[in-house]
Every structure is written in structure tokens, then in C-alpha cells.
Amino acid sequence: GNSVTQMEGPVTLSEEAFLTINCTYTATGYPSLFWYVQYPGEGLQLLLKATKADDKGSNKGFEATYRKETTSFHLEKGSVQVSDSAVYFCALGNSGGSNYKLTFGKGTLLTVNP
């Protein structure tokens, strides 16, 4: 079945540092890939998505590229801010008819210190 593995946290960075959160997946077919973010006390929000190989999703300075050859979708940001402190989830959507069934990683807690 489908699975998502993301780097375990917590990750602690200083403001303006470079961020990478690794995510790899196992899936059949050609799933869409997502990064969700959960700020303290809030619900999950879609951060970015990519629907096919070599697509790059980007939002709020975050980027991730769909790499089919390495089955990866690593999240990067060049200069993090304190407001980026949150839990980040990598996810994939089933390909085909059950594409609503999202499979999530366990989440990575990011803390950015001033």
C-alpha cells in the first residue's frame, strides 16, 4: 500500500536559516504529493502540492519538487522566520478513483528561534 516517510523532528533553526524537511514515498501509479502545515492551535492547511513528476509546488517561500526517480518530495525554504514554527506533514493522494484518500507522514515539528 501507499506510505509516506518524513524526517523525524523536532527541527530547531535560527531565523533566516535554510530549511529542508525530507519526505519519501511509496505508491502505485502517479499520486499527487502535498505538504500541509499545522500552526499551533489551528487546523491543517494545504501549503503546496505537485501533481506530476518534475512539478514544483511553491507557496510562502516554501518549495518542493516531485522527484519520481527518487520517490521524494523534500520541502525547502531559503530563509525561515519565527512565524514558520509549526508541524509540517507530507502527504500523497491515491491515484485513480480513490484519489480522496490521503496518506500522511507522521509530521515534523519545526521551531524557529529569533
Partner 1 sequence: GAGVSQSPSNKVTEKGKDVELRCDPISGHTALYWYRQSLGQGLEFLIYFQGNSAPDKSGLPSDRFSAERTGGSVSTLTIQRTQQEDSAVYLCASSRPGQPRDTQYFGPGTRLTVL
User: Are 95 and 26 within 8 A, CB to CB?
Assistant: no
Looking at beta carbons only, is 19 or 47 nearer to partner 1? 47
Q: Residue 36: exposed, middle, or buried by beta-carbon count in 10 A (0-12, 13-18, 19+)?
A: buried
Q: Closest distance between partner 1 and the C-beta of residue 51, in Å?
A: 8
Which of 90, 86, 87 lies closest to 34 in space, CA to CA?
90
Q: Mask of contacts with partner 1, 22-61, x by CB under 8 A?
A: ----------x-x-x----xxxxxx--x------------
Residues 6-25 that bind partner 1 (CB under 8 A): none
Which of 38, 77, 85 lies closest to 61 in space, CA to CA?
77
Q: Give the DSSP letter of residue 72.
A: B
Q: Closest distance between partner 1 and the C-beta of residue 83, in Å?
A: 19
Q: Closest distance between partner 1 and the C-beta of residue 62, in Å?
A: 17
Binding region for partner 1 (CB under 8 A): 4, 32, 34, 36, 41-46, 49, 89, 91, 93-94, 98-107
